[in-house]
């Protein structure tokens, strides 16, 4: 079974934690200096917020969290079969978690993450300095979003062409 995921960049983490804890009626399941995550059961929602200097506040990305690698693989296969460009990342560290994931963009350029989490991590991103440097691990790089937007604008079909959004390679540290 999948869980809907929303990641929001905030300009004041403490104020946002207070607000969302009251909105959801519970404290975050994960709380770090630059990040908080709530795992709600009704509705099934993985809601995360983060603050990094210089990052604009707003919705970072949407997604689905799967409970197994098989579920993730089924989603990835279905997207690829529909000629949607998928950026695969296996064994990545992001948002204080070890995960396998895929990134796609909808026709308007909104980033969607599909992922399965295998365990926790001590860093926000792939390197211990990722959180302090403001590095963004939880979204595909800007080049991928721009490429996806160009592909959609050039296409009469409401889907991306294979290879259009592959500006980042798995393991390159960009996501």
Percentage of the residues of the chain whose pLDDT score is greater than 70? 71
- Rounded to the nearest angstrom, the gap between the alpha carbon of residue 79 and the centroid of all alpha carbons in its chain is 17
Does a structural domain hold residue 170?
Answer: no
Does a structural domain hold residue 172?
Answer: no
Tell me the mean pLDDT in the region 128-143: 47
Least confident segment among 16-20, 39-43, 115-119, 161-165: 161-165
Does a structural domain hold residue 168?
Answer: no
User: Measured between alpha carbons, how far is 116 from 83 in angstroms, rounded to an integer?
Assistant: 22
Domains contained in the chain, number: 1
Does a structural domain hold residue 171?
Answer: no
Q: Has residue 58 got a pLDDT over 70? A: yes
Tell me the mean pLDDT in the region 159-169: 42
pLDDT at position 86: 94
Does a structural domain hold residue 167?
Answer: no
Q: Kindly report the average pLDDT of the chain as a whole number.
A: 79
Helix (H, G, I), strand (E, B) or coil at 166: coil
Q: What is the CATH number of the domain that holds 45?
A: 3.10.180.10
DSSP 33-66: TTEEEEEEETTEEEEEEE--TTPPPEEEEEEEEE
Instruction: State the residue range of the domain holding 148.
Output: 3-154
Does a structural domain hold residue 148?
Answer: yes
Does a structural domain hold residue 165?
Answer: no
Name the pTM for this structure.
0.69
Tell me the mean pLDDT in the region 77-89: 94
pLDDT at position 175: 40
Does a structural domain hold residue 70?
Answer: yes
């Amino acid at each position: 079974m999948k869980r809907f995921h929303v990641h929001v960049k905030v300009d004041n983490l403490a104020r946002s934690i207070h607000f969302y804890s009251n909105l959801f009626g519970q404290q975050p399941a994960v709380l770090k200096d630059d990040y908080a995550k709530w795992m709600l059961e009704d509705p099934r929602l993985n809601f995360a917020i983060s603050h990094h200097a210089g990052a604009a506040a707003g919705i970072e990305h949407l997604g689905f969290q799967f409970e197994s690698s098989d579920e993730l693989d089924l989603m990835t296969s279905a997207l690829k079969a529909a000629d949607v460009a998928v950026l695969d990342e296996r064994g990545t560290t992001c948002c204080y978690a070890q995960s396998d994931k895929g990134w796609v963009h909808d026709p308007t350029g909104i980033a969607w993450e599909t992922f399965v989490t295998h365990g926790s991590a001590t860093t926000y991103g792939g390197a211990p300095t990722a959180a302090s440097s403001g590095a963004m691990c939880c979204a595909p790089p800007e080049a991928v979003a721009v490429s996806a937007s160009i592909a959609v604008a050039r296409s009469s079909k409401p889907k991306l062409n294979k290879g259009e959004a592959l500006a980042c390679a798995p393991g390159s540290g960009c996501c």
